[in-house]
Amino acid sequence: MNRNRSRILKYSSFILALLLLSQLLLSATAASESSQATGGEAGARPHVVMISIDGLVPDYYLTPDKFGLRIPNLRMLKMNGAYANSVEGVYPTVTYPVHTAMVTGTTPAVSGIYNNRIFEDPRQPPTRAWYWYAKDIKSEPLWTAAKRAGLTTAAVSWPVTVGADIDYNVPEVWDPKDMNQSMPVVLAASTRGLIEELQQTAPLPLTNRFGDDTRTLVAEFIIKRYRPNLLLLHLADLDSAQHTHGPFTAEAYATLEKTDAQVGQIIEATKQAGIYDQTSFIIVSDHGFMKIEKQFNPGVALSEAGLIKIENGKVVDWKATVWTSGGSAAIVLRDEEDKETANQVTEIFNRLANASRSPLWRVLDREKLKQIGANPQAFLMLDAAPLYVMGERLSGPLIEDLGKDRRGTHGYLPTRSEMRASLILSGRNVRVGTRIPLTSMLNIGPTAAALLGITLEKAQGSPLSELLKPGIIPPKKKQKAESEKRTYSGVYRT
């Protein structure tokens, strides 16, 4: 009997050992899978650096040799990462609505950021204020979702971030009376003590325009000092160069090469901070660029029709006015119930659009604007013909030639090839060597969120599963978002 008891005890011990070994193997497998889903380093917190190069045309990184471009950092990120041939933006394709779409995954109609500049009654002296304040965003941005998950956040010159709940924030804002003397405004709007802390190690020019050199210096400092999980950086000098000289010019190429070096500085900062291996880099642009030669002034057409009344050079009354956005313009009615004015406005611009050598490419009515998620305050939106930009004049010539210092712009419908934007992903959890022909701007934010291990629950776009390693995106959410993405992608073509 003792012998049988001994056998039973030995057998029980063997079974217990097997169970413990099985549990250890299961735990190890789960840990391995978790490690793969977080970039191969169990317990390491993710980092995302999103750099928006304002006005970066996809051709610049798709075929750099064609233009003789020396952009080693963008080449390296593309070669060691994934990319899109082009990105379809939101309407209008101007900086503030598009940058908000990037970080919320929502159209302007949902985000509440309809243009760069706010709408102003033409009877009042213009303030020329922009949508600077984060409180105007009606949908959830990346930084809010990240902070809810316990991640740290930073932004340098990112549009619509004044007053945002961002840990280390140096927002884009300026004095509209003199953009070249905007540093005091930036300092006042930044995270308290942040710039002063930077000043102790690398003094900044406090009276000059806040350009890309300064933006890069600030971003480097934040990365090396604070190692934020999310850093958003907006570089805008390429946009400025192309507005002045046009795209595909020597001046644009020289500026882009300088921008590429600044991207390299940011990459190096992550290495010095010890977070390079945990970092996903996202290079994106908000729009492409159109060459321009002439200006069309829709407000002149409204004045000539008696819908804007001007006395002694000032507007004294109006029934319809114009709200420009580069290559497009919103026509706003003072009284939404004024059917007579609505019909008159429609007739004016449809007639101009149908004229020979028209300055208009498209006239979009409110139903079409609703379909594409554009400005709900617009009765119509006008899209300019090739080589034309929209002007703000309310009197004078209907069409005029531009000076030599205005040779490029954007703001047109995002389906126009010149407006296509850029996307390169590289680093942690990016599927190296993958490419997609076209994607939506609404997918950028959800993709960044996935790389951070979070979600933008109400985004209209979806994470780009094709460009990410397996296991990053929950399958059910991916399927739902893919359907939404297809719906959005088609609305411009209906």
* HEC profile of the chain: CHHHHHHHHHHHHHHHHHHHHHHHHHHHHHHHHHHHHCCCCCCCCCEEEEEEECCCCHHHHHCHHHHCCCCHHHHHHHHCEEEEEEEECCCCCCHHHHHHHHHHCCCHHHHCCCCCECCCCCCCCCCCCECCEHHHCCCCCHHHHHHHCCCCEEEECCCCCECCCCCEEECCCCCCCCHHHCHHHHHHHCCCCHHHHHHCCCCCCCCCCCCHHHHHHHHHHHHHHHCCCEEEEEECHHHHHHHHHCCCCHHHHHHHHHHHHHHHHHHHHHHHCCCHHHEEEEEECCCCCEEEEEEECHHHHHHHCCCEEEECCEEEEECEEEEEECCEEEEEECCCCCHHHHHHHHHHHHHHHHCCCCCEEEEEEHHHHHHCCCCCCCCEEEEECCEEEECCCCCCCCEEECCCCCCEECCCCCCCHHHCEEEEEEECCECCCCEECCEEHHHHHHHHHHHHCCCCCCCCCCCCHHHECCCCCCHHHHHHHHHHHHHHHHHHHC
Cα 50-53-57 angle, rounded to 5 deg: 125
| pLDDT at site 32 | 38
| pLDDT at site 184 | 87
Q: What is the dihedral of CA 258, 264, 265, 269, to 10 degrees?
A: 170
Distance CA 345, CA 273 (A): 58
Inter-residue contact 68 to 253 (CB < 8 Å):
yes
Comparing CA positions, the residue from 90, 108, 159 lying closest to residue 131 is 159
Domain 47-289+416-493 CATH class label: alpha beta
Residue 49 structure tokens: 């650096």
| pLDDT at site 182 | 83
Comparing CA positions, the residue from 288, 367, 293, 294 lying closest to residue 93 is 288
Residue 129 structure tokens: 């204020």
Paired residues of 389 in beta bridges = 295
Residue 239 structure tokens: 């946009």
Assign a CATH topology to domain 291-409: Gyrase A; domain 2 (3.30.1360)
CATH 3.40.720.10 domain extents, the chain = 47-289+416-493
Distance CA 94, CA 289 (A): 10
| pLDDT at site 475 | 53
CATH 3.30.1360 domain extents, the chain = 291-409
Comparing CA positions, the residue from 370, 369, 395, 399 lying closest to residue 384 is 399
The stretches in the chain having pLDDT less than 50 are: 1-22, 24-42, 476, 478-494
| pLDDT at site 24 | 42
**201 phi and psi, to 5 degrees?**
-110, -30
| pLDDT at site 1 | 45
Please report, as a single letter, which amino acid is at residue 166. Answer: I
- For residue 409, count CB atoms less than 10 angstroms from its CB and return exposed for 0-12, middle for 13-18, buried for 19 or more: buried
> CA 167 → CA 148, 213, 215, 226, 228, distances in Å?
12, 22, 17, 10, 9
Inter-residue contact 166 to 155 (CB < 8 Å):
yes
Residue identified by tokens 């940058």 is 99
Distance CA 416, CA 432 (A): 29
**203 phi and psi, to 5 degrees?**
-55, 135
| pLDDT at site 206 | 65
- Tell me the angle at which helices 250-272 and 212-226 cross, rounded to the nearest 10 degrees: 10
